[in-house]
Structure 1
């Protein structure tokens, strides 16, 4: 299940720097937005040479949160150099943003960079997804909300799929079908529609805590095994090509 996001093309036009791309991330990308979910808009801006070479350096990261047409929008963009530096490290966030199918704004540069993404996927991304899952599980233990529980499983399954295939799939319903994930998660996705911060305790037919913990232990182990047996390289083979892309984009 997914919900349409509002037309955000005007948001792109309002930015102070040219955008290489802008895509939607977060719960909409993961396949479990709530009726009251905000829209996580992510992208890359390109600082002009004057803001890179001069004394006053332009912003490497720009962040803004506001309400538009009744929807809260959370916008974060990185300068192309910072984004590509993250891309050549084991950072699943930027990979998912770059390859998100929910595209608000694209350019030739976006398409060229997306074509290099496969050469930036490494076995070390397993560490990213393991750490993200651990953080979300601690949040679930503290709040008891459905959202961090879904985020936990989403991170583990994305990591396993990535390490096995080299493909970035962030959409939880798709992952559940491909990896035969826990059968109660589709019901929790449906339940989350009613509220961004809905508690698991409020859901009828919810899984027993010991079942959830056993499933998490299973997928943590699957991620560990996938990391150890992955055919992916340890370091990104496209590093030099990404470097050349940054230089060409800046000069262009």
Structure 2
């Protein structure tokens, strides 16, 4: 397995994070670097949670619930997107696997004690119905892959990453977004070649000869496997962490942050 964390320039990441207009609860790396297949020219996708001031949220204006910041530091492109804690915590209470992947991302740029608390709380947000998130996301990526000519490697890898993440979550209750790690269990030999193409080629790299019939068959097979894993899953029907999320949000709003 390639350790992509060794290629992360933390100082440049923090330059971008420090210019955020609001205090952060955490900022982690998502996207291709988290998924285990960044191209040499891939930018860095940072995601996280910010905290709007109390005087903003109690007023008539909703404030900046989402902040998007792009920057280039000595050729390193960084895209930072954060949500206010209330919006992010609300998403955590729904069947949104994307925000859970951000919370649990091992590629941490900025963290706080509240981030650690949030990871504990997030376990109680996982339900069997998160399968619907991954089924829908996979279908969207598959349509993107099929409509392009020539077909690109990136959306095809996203299809496999999303399906394997969903299957793994249904079977284990663990959020794992790294395709290299997921394939250690799935053992799909063709994924190694696809990942190598993405790692060694440009971000917009294409498949010279895409075996569309084969990949369509695998897409259908893994979709059915995720549906079966959903049906057999013993994960909870509903999240159990709403009260803990509410308590953490109140403490954050009142400035009662852990030292």
Task: Tell me which residue corresponds to 2:176.
Answer: 169
1:89-238 aligned within 5 A:
89-143=94-148, 144-180=151-187, 182-193=188-199, 194-201=201-208, 208-238=211-241
Shift of 1:199: 0.7
- C-alpha separation in 2, matches of 1:207 and 1:55: 53
Higher mean C-alpha displacement, 97-106 vs 69-78: 69-78
Cα displacement string for residues 175-225 of structure 1 (whole angstroms, at most 9, x for unaligned residues): 011122x21111111111211111112xxxx66322211111110011000
Residues 123-132 or 236-245, more deviating = 236-245
CA contact (8 A) 2:16 2:78 kept: no
The two structures, once aligned, show a CA RMSD in angstroms of 1.2
For residue 59 of structure 1, report the CA deviation from its aligned partner. Answer: 0.5
Structure 1: stretches of 5+ with no match in the other structure:
none
For residues 116 and 167 of structure 1, the distance between their equivalents in structure 2, rounded to whole angstroms, comes to 13
Deviates more, 1:90-99 or 1:53-62: 53-62
What is the 5 A alignment of 1:16-35?
A: 16-35=21-40
SS in structure 2 of the partner of residue 184 of structure 1: helix
SS at structure 1 position matched to 2:218? helix
- CA distance in 2 between counterparts of 1:57 and 1:155 reads 33
CA contact (8 A) 1:40 1:75 kept: yes
Q: CA deviation at 1:44?
A: 0.3
Gaps of 5+ in 2: none
- Taking structure 2 as the reference length, the TM-score comes to 0.92
Q: Deviations over 1:92-131 (max 9, x none)?
A: 1100000000000000110101111110000110000001
Tell me the distance in 1 between the aligned counterparts of 2:59 and 2:216: 54
Pick the aligned partner of 1:56 from 46, 53, 61: 61
Q: Which has the higher mean CA deviation after the structures are superposed, 222-231 or 59-68?
A: 59-68
Structure 1 residue 68: deviation in Å? 1.8
CA distance in 2, matches of 1:133, 1:77: 24
Question: 1:251, CA displacement in angstroms?
Answer: 1.3
* Residue 96 of structure 2 corresponds to residue 72 of structure 1: no
State the Cα distance separating 1:229 from its structure 2 match.
1.0
Out of 188-197 and 100-109, give the one that drifted further.
188-197
SS of 1:63's equivalent in the other structure is strand
* Cα offset, 1:69, TM superposition: 1.7
Query: How many equivalent residue pairs?
Result: 247
Asked if the contact 1:32–1:189 (Cα under 8 Å) also holds between the matched residues in 2, the reply is: yes
8 Å Cα contact 1:163/1:232 also seen in 2? yes
Distance 1:150 1:80 in 2: 31
Q: 1:84 matched to which residue of 2?
A: 89
Measure how far apart 1:54 and its partner are: 2.1
